[in-house]
């Protein structure tokens, strides 16, 4: 059976077309019935994935082609979800490395390719979007080869096969000059160049858990590849946890994949990717093994988090008004539940019972968790993200990011100057059709708050991507936000008359008729230093009227900050208050006198 199976993962930088290619493969392998309505990017099933157009969670499916069963794993493209990529690569025997025919290899391409090469996988390179204006497939192939050399690929890996494709049009070619109207060349290449799974069907059963899910009908489910042996539904198997403890349990359901659907199986063999139900306390990277001869498989090492922030019980005057889950017990239970499936996350208790230190791979990684929590009805406050320092050989080291930016020539001077102040070192620059691609090595601290500035400086035309590079000695202090903030003086509702008079003081974050409280941040001060203002004071009415007295009050549209922008914006003494309906900025200490006392202590 294993000779007829091919296990592949699709890896690429974000937006290079992984999920679109999966759509085309599903259509052409006959998974959909004739006239069946087809959803675009069908693998992006999560609400946030659909809204943002990105893949966050790895997902499995299977297609049949010419007698072969091809198990496909769709992976995320963002560096922040690299943990998802790292663990699923243990399930597959090869990868399709998608590279945009215009952009070429990007930071995340380097990251996922390095993980694949380290595991000894032989990638198939797919040059996607060959129909894109300005596409330069031959040049991109050379760039990919250079990247393989840079990452110390062995001779077998350097002899990679190439397929030229347009996932959007559903076509693939082995040579650019070929005529094609389908993905047949890609399917052929997978059949020829991907090795069948190497497991032994006669050996004792072993399965490495690489994904965990919950089904309301059958309970907790675990997905992974059967490394050795065979397994049957209803069979008793051993579960080996990270500490090496062995417990036995019975498989209540054995599920395989047919297209997008999970189907019940009576038996599965070495090499196949299956989902097993029947264990309540199963974790990622644990082993399911033969009950009589339990042998654990090697643990999948995941890169450590680089960024942390505090999740704090909301204590503002509006606490509990909009959220359903507000106590420290609720937040602790939710974070513990997240730890079971989110392998890149770490949660620690602090001195304060109402505060939890949560560490992740980046701002996006943590903001997706916060966004999911607020949609579930949680209410909490979070602090400014901080990088995680490490002691290496007695030297204090910090995480360094590999940053790639595409910027029009007229804006590059401003951007380079700002990055210089953030301790960035330029490593390369190349011209690209009216824009320049510039690469830097920059401390992760220097990127906090930079994206908003970058989009403003480039008038929205710049593109930036970054991924973790390495730990390096501390680069010294980096200047933070220059401007102070406008802080509400009292509890009440904002009045248009007051806001109109405050407009000259800076940029407002709130409009009229918005409830505010003492210590809440309602805008950015035009100068350094914070300013306490009264936004709730109405106009004094008198019985004297003149021609200019009742002139119309015109208020500039306030700047609305998204969750990510809020996390980037706040300073060390500020918090973001997050509820299912609102995102508010506030000072850590709401009372002005308490803030002054705390400032004296820190000095």
Check if the beta carbon of residue 254 is closer than 8 Å to that of residue 232: yes
- Per-residue pLDDT reduced to its tens digit, 493-527: 998 888 988 988 899 999 999 999 999 999 999 98
Confidence of residue 328 (pLDDT cuts 50, 70, 90): very high
| CB 365 within 8 Å of CB 344 | yes
Alpha-carbon distance of 500 to 555, in angstroms, equals 6
pLDDT at 411: 87
pLDDT over threshold 90, residue 583: yes
Does 489 lie in the same domain as 443? no
300 within some domain = no
Q: Are 439 and 404 in contact (CB under 8 A)?
A: yes
Structural domain count, the chain = 4
- Rg of the chain (C-alpha set): 27
Give the SS3 label for residue 56: coil
- 17 is known to lie in a ligand binding site: yes
What pLDDT does 480 receive?
77
Domain boundary, last residue among 141, 159, 193: 193
Please, what is the average pLDDT of the chain? 83
Between CA 127 and CA 172 the distance in angstroms is 9
- Exposure class string for 228-247: b at 16+ Cβ within 10 A, else e: bbbbebebebbbbeeeeeee
- Among residues 193, 223, 257, the one where a domain terminates is 193
Distance CA 197, CA 268 (A): 13
Q: Would residue 492 count as lying in a domain?
A: yes
464 bridge partner residues = 405
Q: Residues 53, 156: one domain?
A: yes
Instruction: Identify whether the C-beta of residue 475 lies closer than 8 Å to the C-beta of residue 398.
Output: yes
Question: Is residue 128 marked as binding?
Answer: yes
Question: Which of 157, 177, 175, 129 has its CA nearest to residue 12?
Answer: 129
Residues 76 and 143 in one domain: yes
Q: Which residue's entry shows tokens 């990127």?
A: 447
> Per mean pLDDT, which range of 126-140, 199-213, 531-545 is the poorest?
531-545
Report whether 129 belongs to an annotated binding site. Answer: yes
pLDDT of residue 34: 42
Annotated ligand binding at 275? The verdict is no
The reply to whether 456 and 513 lie within a common domain is no
Q: What's the CA gap between 468 and 378, in Å, rounded?
A: 30
DSSP track, 74-140? E---SGGGHHHHHHHGGG-SEEEEEEETTT-S-HHHHHHHHHHHHTT---EEEEE-TTSTT--HHHH
Sorted by sequence, the CB contacts under 8 Å of residue 452 that are 6+ apart come out as 565, 568, 569
* 198 in any annotated domain: no
Quote the pLDDT of residue 311: 94
Q: Is 16 annotated as a binding residue?
A: yes
Give the range of the structural domain holding residue 408, as residue numbers without chain letter. Answer: 390-473
The CATH number covering residue 592 comes to 2.40.50.250
Rounded to whole angstroms, how far apart are CA atoms 316 and 360? 26
Tens-digit pLDDT profile for residues 107-141: 777 777 888 888 888 899 999 988 888 888 999 99
CA dihedral 229, 231, 235, 238 (to 10 degrees): 50
406 shares a domain with 439: yes
Per-residue pLDDT band for 27 (boundaries 50, 70, 90) equals confident
pLDDT of residue 301: 65
User: Binding site annotation covers 15?
Assistant: yes
Provide the pLDDT for residue 373.
Answer: 92
User: Domain check: are 121 and 237 in the same one?
Assistant: no
118 has binding-site annotation: no
For residue 331, pLDDT beyond 90: yes
Asked whether 250 and 200 are in contact (CB, 8 A), the reply is no
The tens digit of pLDDT for each residue in 351-384 reads 988 999 999 887 878 888 999 899 999 999 999 9
Q: What is the pLDDT of residue 81?
A: 59
18 annotated as belonging to a binding site for a ligand: yes
Residue 242 belongs to a domain with what CATH number? 2.40.30.10
How far is residue 199's CA from residue 164's CA, in Å, rounded to a whole number?
32
368-396 in b/e form (b: 16+ CB < 10 A) is: bbbbbbbeeebbbbbbbbbbbeeeeeeee
Query: Is position 502 within any domain?
Result: yes
Could you tell me if 105 and 135 lie in one domain?
Answer: yes
- Indicate whether 157 belongs to any domain: yes
Q: Is residue 304 part of a domain?
A: no
CA distance 256 to 231: 12
Three-state SS at 383: strand
């Amino acid at each position: 059976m294993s000779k007829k199976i091919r296990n592949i993962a699709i890896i690429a930088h974000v937006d290079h077309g992984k999920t679109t290619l999966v759509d085309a493969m599903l259509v052409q392998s006959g998974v959909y019935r004739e006239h069946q309505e087809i959803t675009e990017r069908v693998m992006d099933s999560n609400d946030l994935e659909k809204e943002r157009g990105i893949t966050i969670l790895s997902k499995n499916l299977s297609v049949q082609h010419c007698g072969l069963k091809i198990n496909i794993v769709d992976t995320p493209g963002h560096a922040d979800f690299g943990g998802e990529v790292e663990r699923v690569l243990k399930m597959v025997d090869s990868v399709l490395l998608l590279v945009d025919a215009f952009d070429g290899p990007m930071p995340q391409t380097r990251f996922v390719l390095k993980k694949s090469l380290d595991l000894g996988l032989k990638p198939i390179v797919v040059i996607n979007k060959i129909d894109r204006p300005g596409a330069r497939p031959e040049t991109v192939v050379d760039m990919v080869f250079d990247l393989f050399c840079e990452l110390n690929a062995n001779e077998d890996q350097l002899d990679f096969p190439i397929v030229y494709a347009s996932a959007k049009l559903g076509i693939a070619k082995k040579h650019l000059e070929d005529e094609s109207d389908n993905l047949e060349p890609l399917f052929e290449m997978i059949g020829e160049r991907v090795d069948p799974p190497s497991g032994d069907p006669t050996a004792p059963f072993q399965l490495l858990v690489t994904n965990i899910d919950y089904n309301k009908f059958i309970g907790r489910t675990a997905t992974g590849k059967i490394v050795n042996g065979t397994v049957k539904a209803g069979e008793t198997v051993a579960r080996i946890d990270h500490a090496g403890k062995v417990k036995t349990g019975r498989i209540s359901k054995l599920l395989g994949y047919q297209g997008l659907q999970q189907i019940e199986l009576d038996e599965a063999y070495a090499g196949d990717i299956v989902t097993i139900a029947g264990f309540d306390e199963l974790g990622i990277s644990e082993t399911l093994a033969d009950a009589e001869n339990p042998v654990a498989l090697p643990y999948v090492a995941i890169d450590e988090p680089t960024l942390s922030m505090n999740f704090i019980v909301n204590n503002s005057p509006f606490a509990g008004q909009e959220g359903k889950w507000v106590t420290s017990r609720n937040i602790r239970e939710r974070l513990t539940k997240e730890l079971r499936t989110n392998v890149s996350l770490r949660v620690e208790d602090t001195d304060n019972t109402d505060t939890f230190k949560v560490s992740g791979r980046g701002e996006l990684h943590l903001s997706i968790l916060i966004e999911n929590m607020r949609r579930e009805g949680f209410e909490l406050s979070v602090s400014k993200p901080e990088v995680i320092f490490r002691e290496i050989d007695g030297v204090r080291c910090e995480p360094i990011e590999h940053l790639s930016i595409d910027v029009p020539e007229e804006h590059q001077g401003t951007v380079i100057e700002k990055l210089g102040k953030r301790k960035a070192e330029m490593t390369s620059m190349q011209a690209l059709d009216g824009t320049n691609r510039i690469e830097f090595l920059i401390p992760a601290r220097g990127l906090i708050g930079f994206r908003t500035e970058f989009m403003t400086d480039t008038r929205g035309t710049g593109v930036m991507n970054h991924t973790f590079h390495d730990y390096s000695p501390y680069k010294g202090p980096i200047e933070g936000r220059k401007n102070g903030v406008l802080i509400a003086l009292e509890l009440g509702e904002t009045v248009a008359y007051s806001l109109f008079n405050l407009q000259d003081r800076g940029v407002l974050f709130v409009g009229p008729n918005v409830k505010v409280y003492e210590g809440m941040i309602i805008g950015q001060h035009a100068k350094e230093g914070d300013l306490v203002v009264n936004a709730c004071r109405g106009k004094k009415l008198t019985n004297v009227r003149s021609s200019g007295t009742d002139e119309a009050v015109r208020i500039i549209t306030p700047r609305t900050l998204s969750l990510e922008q809020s996390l980037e914006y706040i300073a060390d003494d500020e918090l973001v208050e997050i509820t299912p309906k609102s995102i508010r900025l506030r000072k850590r200490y709401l009372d002005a006198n308490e803030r002054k006392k705390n400032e004296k202590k820190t000095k």
